[in-house]
Amino acid sequence: MQEIKVYGVWGSPFSRRVEIALKMKGVEYEFIEEDLENKSDELLMYNPVHKKIPVLVHNGKPVVESSLIMEYIDETWKQNALLPTDPYDRAQVRFWAKFIDDKIMASVGAALLSKGGDISKAKEEMQELLTVLESEITKNKLFGGDKVSFLDIIGLFVAYWVPIVQDILGNHVLTRDKFPGIYEWADVLLDDAFIKKNLPDKDKLIPILRSRFGVKP
Amino acid sequence: MGNKAMLLDFWPSPFGMRTRIALAEKGVKYEYKDEDLSNKSELLLAMNPVHKKIPVFVHNNKPVCESLIIVEYIDEVWSKDKPLLPSDPYLKAQARFWADFADKKVYESGARIWKTKGEEQEKAKKDFIENLTILVQQLGDNPYFGGDTFGYVDVAIIPFYTWFYTFEMAGNFKVEESCPKVIEWAKRCLQRESVKALPDPIKVYDFFLELKKMLGIE
């Protein structure tokens, strides 16, 4: 009997990745919603180093860091593979996943969410990084070709969350006219029936993010 | 099928060192090219247009970038002997986690030691030792992070050892005093041919002094 738990936050792109990966494999799990202002003892026990969500606990053993969790899921449940089998292709996927997570995410934070620092420089950097992503994206319909794959799931942050955050803050760096390739990919991805069903509903997400960013409705 | 392999690297880089160790462990023959980072080659810029950084492993004319990604790639291609990553998915996830921790926490705080002064430097030293201590706890009673055998996490971390002397000189402290277990582990790794081939810490420190001069840091 398998026991699978996911500690996450409903609106978080990171815990969503894990849920989507599990659902794509048809794996049943229990979702435990964390209050980040009041983290549970279990969360602190399972992720003592970073104390962050998401955490996947598989038969009592914790795996942390969303992209590592996704690799773990792909290696444990082999149906509907998320990563390619060829080592070179896998290295490319890992490279772009790291680019999105380490570079793009940090720049989105600096350009859109931070109150201090050189905002115009941060926005410029975000533009530059998105331009790199744009050139990589226009090679295929989805990163996985015709199917939703690892990199598409990682990229949901850019496809779904960034436009919503930009609308809330009235601050737009990622735009359809500047980045048609990214929007084209996002359109295909967000139109996928499975993805549509498994993203947090916009109407519910917006007020949550508004309150998190301290923006009045 | 050809098997042309080339490594674009810079000798004092701990990230480049990881890839050198992995290739040596697997007995892969490759051409080594040391880059002048103040005057990057056309090849480097073509092979890593996104980050323009070393190391880049060029295998049959196809580039792989980012040191840990390269190490995993090497492990997957030359998979017959000396596996670096465990085959069990859970242990693999743990190994990847600690290698990432080494980058985001250990190396980051170590580099902060030479980049800062005064109170900031004291905090950097404290963080560095704290993070090193957390990391080293993962050894338990094992000789290596990989358990009985030298593995991915050992490959990821041992290059930082060549920079310890530099951190110690910059911060006026001794790693062995605060974290003797890591020195014990490092000396064990240094018995291996692949690790013996790493640059001498004194040479790394000399490079660092040149770098400081060039950057105009006191």
Chain B's closest residue to A68, CA to CA, is: B93
d(CA B109, CA B103): 9
Residue of B69, B89, B97 lying closest to A95 (CB–CB): B69
Mean pLDDT of chain B: 95
Query: What is the pTM for the complete model shown?
Result: 0.95
- CB contact under 8 Å between A61 and B90, yes or no, is yes
| % chain B with pLDDT above 70 | 99
H or E, element range at A92:
helix A87-98
**Pairing of β B5-9 and β B56-59:** antiparallel
**A215 CA: distance to closest CA in chain B (Å):** 31
Neighbours of A118 (CB within 10 A): 11
The answer to whether residues B32 and B24 touch, using CB atoms and an 8 Å cutoff, is no
Give me the phi and psi of B92, to 5 degrees please.
-65, -45
d(CA A101, CA A93): 12
Mean pLDDT of chain A: 94
d(CA B133, CA A206): 42
- Which positions 176-195 of A are in contact with B (Cβ < 8 Å)? none
Q: Mutation test of the interface with chain B: which of A70, A75, A96, A101, choosing the one with the most B Cβ atoms within 10 A? A: A75
Distances (CA, A) of B60 to A91, B3, B31, B50, B159: 14, 6, 12, 20, 26
Residue of A63, A90, A98 lying closest to B93 (CB–CB): A63
Distances (CA, A) of A99 to A103, A126, A207, B213: 5, 12, 29, 32
Q: Supply the pLDDT for residue A188.
A: 95
A195 falls in which pLDDT band (50, 70, 90)?
very high
Q: Which residues contact B50 (CB under 8 A, 6 or more apart)?
A: A99, A132, B65
B193 falls in which pLDDT band (50, 70, 90)?
very high
Tens-digit pLDDT profile for residues A167-189: 999 889 999 999 999 999 999 99
| A132-146, A175-189, B23-37, B65-79: range with lowest mean pLDDT | A132-146
Q: Which residues contact A119 (CB under 8 A, 6 or more apart)?
A: A111
Tens-digit pLDDT profile for residues B47-56: 999 999 999 9
Q: Is the peptide bond before A200 cis (omega within 30 degrees of 0)?
A: no
Neighbours of B115 (CB within 10 A): 12
A60-66 mean pLDDT = 97
Q: Mutation test of the interface with chain A: which of B94, B103, B133, B152, choosing the one with the most A Cβ atoms within 10 A? A: B94
Q: Supply the pLDDT for residue A137.
A: 87
Q: Which residues contact A1 (CB under 8 A, 6 or more apart)?
A: none
Q: Supply the pLDDT for residue A118.
A: 84
pLDDT surpasses 60 at B1: no
The answer to whether residues B158 and B189 touch, using CB atoms and an 8 Å cutoff, is yes
Tens-digit pLDDT profile for residues B113-172: 999 999 999 999 999 999 999 999 999 999 999 999 999 999 999 999 999 999 999 999
- CB contact under 8 Å between B70 and A91, yes or no, is yes
Q: Which residues contact B163 (CB under 8 A, 6 or more apart)?
A: B14, B110, B201, B204
B101-117 mean pLDDT = 93
- CB contact under 8 Å between B64 and A65, yes or no, is no
Tens-digit pLDDT profile for residues A4-30: 999 999 999 999 999 999 999 999 999
